[in-house]
Structures are given as structure tokens and as C-alpha cells.
Amino acid sequence: MKVLVIPDIHLKKWIFDKAESMLNEGKADRAVCLMDIPDDWYMDFNTELYGDVFDRAIEFAKTYPDTLWCYGNHDVSYPWGRLETGYSPCAESIVISKLEELEETIQDSSKIAIIHRIDNVLFSHGGLCEEYVKWLDSQLNYEENLQTNYFEKNIDEMIMIINNTIQDNLWKSISPLWLRPQHGDIEAYRRDKYMQVVGHTPVEEIYEKNGFISTDVFSTYRDGRQIGESAFLVINSKTKEYEKLIF
């Protein structure tokens, strides 16, 4: 299956327009959105734009119901009450209500989560590393007074555990919401079998390192200039081969 990856949005609704054109042209079979829908430089008071971009995401979800959605740190920071850089108090109620509307539009709740798997590819906002899985293993055993080796569970069980863990276990620098594998020699979880596709960290070009493919090439500098190349990733979920679509 050929999967089109929609990287971090950050109030750029035209990204959905480009993605829709590529799907309509048959360049991929389905899409995965790495979200971070709200927040961008100096947009704190532009609440109308926040609403417009979420409305475009909702429209996209209706048109392409097979799309998978991976929560980003900027998305969940609003309903979780976790203030961070870029958080807009003015847009708080809009983001919370529109995110709920998006979740309701995606009728299958399993299609919007922290991490997803399609065949041999894992998708998440920041990435899943072995250090986090080991930490979560120890944390859950402590909380539940168990001696279960979560690290050795099969991949779908591991994904289910992550998608259902508490907020505090995800609001960590090594979690799939926050990990930045671009900034160190970090190994992807089960790299021998799975490729991972991530966003979160702006990069100049789409590239692979240590089992992570970084795709956040539409984020901007403070002055509005785009940091990365104008390209989308399309990946074959079985062979893990990928290509860049330049527009």
C-alpha cells in the first residue's frame, strides 16, 4: 500500500489542498496526518484562522475516511491543559471544540491516536524509541505492581498500550509526542523490522536516519520563510521503500 504522509500543519490549510490533489491523482492509496494542526509564529490572536484550519481538517477527514491521524504535542496541549511554546490562550476554546469535532468526524476512534502501524511502517508525531519503551515498561510495572515485560510484547499490543497510557507518561521528551531523533544517535524501536515516519522537528529535506524518516518540511522560520523543501513523502507500507513528491 502506498501511503501519503501529511506532516505538521501549524495553521497551513493549503497542505490539505496539496495532499488532496495528490490523492485524487492516484499517487497514494491513503493518507496519514502527523497533525500539530494549531499554532504558528505570531498567530496567537488570529482565532479565525485556527477555526478555518480545523474546518479544513474536518472536511478532509470526511472526504478521506481511511486517513489515520497521529496526535501532536500542539494538538493535545489544549485539552490536556499543558501550556507550551506557541500555545494560544485566545484560541484555547476553539482548538478544544474543533479537535472534539474532528474526533467525532473520524467515526472509527482507533484512527486517531498517538501511534499507528500500517504493515511494516509505524507513524507517530515524534517517533518511538527503545529507551521510551523500556522506561514505560518499568513505569507500568511500578504503577500496577506487575512484572510484565512490555518491551517484548508484540507490536500491536505495544501500540495499544502506548495509545491508552496516561498523559503524564506521554508528556516526556522521549515519548512519541516529543521525541526528536534528528538531534542525536537515537535508535528506532524494532528498527530491524519496522520503518518509522515522523514529523515534529523541522528539517530542510525529507531523510532517513536510524530507522526514522523525518518529514516536517513545511514549518517556517519566524519571518515566515519555509524551512524545508516543498515535498511530501509517499511510502510503500510493505517494502518500506519511499519517494518524495515535489510540487
Q: Are 179 and 201 within 8 A, CB to CB?
A: no
Looking at residue 247, its pLDDT comes to 78
Domain boundaries, the chain: 2-246
CATH of domain 2-246: 3.60.21.10
Compute the CA torsion angle 188, 190, 191, 193 (nearest 10 deg).
-150
CA atoms within 13 A on the CB side of 44: 8
For 32, the 3-state DSSP assignment is strand
pLDDT, tens digit, for every residue of 6-45? 999 999 999 999 999 999 999 999 999 999 999 999 999 9
Split at pLDDT 50, 70, 90, the class of 149 is low
Scan for cell 515524534, then name that residue.
126
| Summary mean pLDDT of the chain | 93
Report the distance separating Cα 184 and Cα 51, nearest Å.
Answer: 36
Average pLDDT on 87-98 reads: 96
| pTM for the full predicted model | 0.95
For residue 124, give the nearest of 7, 4, 1 by alpha carbon.
7
Average pLDDT on 172-189 reads: 94
E-state strands within the chain: 2-6, 30-33, 68-70, 112-113, 115-118, 121-124, 195-198, 207-209, 212-214, 231-236, 242-246
Cα–Cα distances in Å, from 193 out to 50, 173, 239? 38, 24, 11
For residue 68, give the nearest of 163, 173, 194, 203 by alpha carbon.
163
pLDDT, tens digit, for every residue of 181-231? 999 899 899 999 999 999 999 999 999 999 999 999 999 999 989 999 999
Average pLDDT on 148-164 reads: 80
Grid cell digits, residue 211: 530507522
Whether residue 150 is predicted with pLDDT greater than 80 in this model: the reply is: no
Whether residue 129 is predicted with pLDDT greater than 90 in this model: the reply is: yes
Looking at residue 152, its pLDDT comes to 61
Cα 225 to chain centroid distance, Å, stands at 22
Cα–Cα distances in Å, from 29 out to 67, 100, 110? 10, 26, 19
